[in-house]
Structure formats: C-alpha cells, structure tokens
Amino acid sequence: MATALFRSRGYHGTPVRALASNLKMEAGSLYYHFPSKQQLLFDGFEQTMDELLAGLRDAVERESTAPRRLCAAVRFHVRYHTEHQSEAFVSHTEIRALTGRNRAAILEKRDEYEAMFRALIDAGVATGEFDVPDTGLTNIAILTMCSGVADWFSPKGRLDGAAVADRYAELVLRMVRYSGAAGRARGTRAR
C-alpha cells in the first residue's frame, strides 16, 4: 500500500519509484493507473475523510443520550485510527503536501468532522450532563488526543484497538465531567 510508505517516509520523501517497487512494478507503469503522484495522495485522503465522516455519523446515530453519543464517537474515532493507522496518520501529517484546491477540499471535510464532534459536546452541555469551561478548546483537545493514537499505537502492543478505545472513552468522559463516567465507558460499547 502506498499509504504505508507515505507514513514512514512522508509524501515528499517517497519517490514514485519506491511506490512502484512496493507494488512490484516499474515507475512508469504506475502512471497507467494514476495520473500523478499528487492524485494518488489525494485519493487516499478523500477516502479516509469520507470513511471518517460516514463512520462517525453512523456511530452516533445508534445512541440517544449525549454521554453515550460522545462515547460512541470517541470509540469509533480511536478504533478507526488503530485499524487504519497508516491512512489516519498520513491524513494528519501530509495535509501540507496537498496542492491548492486538493488541500481546500480536504480541509473542508476535516472542518465538517470537527463540527460534528463539537455538536456532541454542545448537546451534553445544553442538557447539563456535561460541564466544560470552554467547548471549543475541549473539543480540539479531545480530537488531537484521540487522533494521536495513530502516532503510537502498535498492533503488537499490550492493548488492542478496542481496549484503547474504551479507555479513551472514559478519559473523555472525565474531561467533560460526566459524573457517571466510572462504570460507563465499557458499558456503552457499540459492538
């Protein structure tokens, strides 16, 4: 997969010839399948963002109360970052490698994602279930914390993706000071 190479060497640090040889091909042959290296990056970005948006929407829809919805969102987000680690990592670090309108298109989707997340917090604040001094800051703190999972997670590690997701959900509940946090994290597991 191209994403694995982009992850370990970066977009600009990965020659087209490396991408090709990874697929047991010659460099020129790649251009039968893709019009440019940039498009290859962009396609990966778009797929990742679409999966994130659809997955988040889906995870949230299954729950009704604010704490459960936020929990489900966090668990989905973390699990996606463990199961599609390379894609998620690249989507965070290589945005700057996207050119003009490609970058704009992705940033738009990222903003949409962040807004969906923020709405989950706002909802809990509105009902009084959450107590956060600064919704915007708390939201971005939660998101960067959860996205950071793609930085350090290892499938060979002590905890698997589901376990990390559960523990992160509890951490988030603490951050928004949901009083029923202690026993809830595991209880509201989606699947």
Q: Does 36 bind DNA (CB under 7 A)?
A: yes
How many residues touch DNA under the rule CB under 7 A: the total is: 19
Among 8, 29, 127, 179, binds its own copies (CB under 8 A): 8
Closest CA to 144 of 119, 170, 110: 110
Q: Does 160 bind its own copies (CB under 8 A)?
A: no
The stretch near its own copies (CB under 8 A) out of 3-11, 22-30, 32-40, 67-75 is: 3-11
55 or 148: CB nearest its own copies: 148
Q: Does 33 bind DNA (CB under 7 A)?
A: yes
Q: State the Cα–Cα distance between residues 124 and 71, nearest whole angstrom.
A: 12
Q: State the Cα–Cα distance between residues 41 and 93, nearest whole angstrom.
A: 12
**Please, which residues have CB within 8 angstroms of residue 175's CB and are 6 or more apart in sequence?**
132, 138, 141, 142
The two most distant CA atoms of the chain are separated, in Å, by 60
Q: Does 134 bind its own copies (CB under 8 A)?
A: yes
Q: Is the dihedral of CA 156, 162, 149, 173 positive or negative?
A: negative
Interface contacts to its own copies, rule CB under 8 A: 8-13, 93, 96-97, 133-134, 136-138, 140-142, 144-145, 147-149, 151-152, 158-159, 164, 167-168, 170-171, 174-175, 177
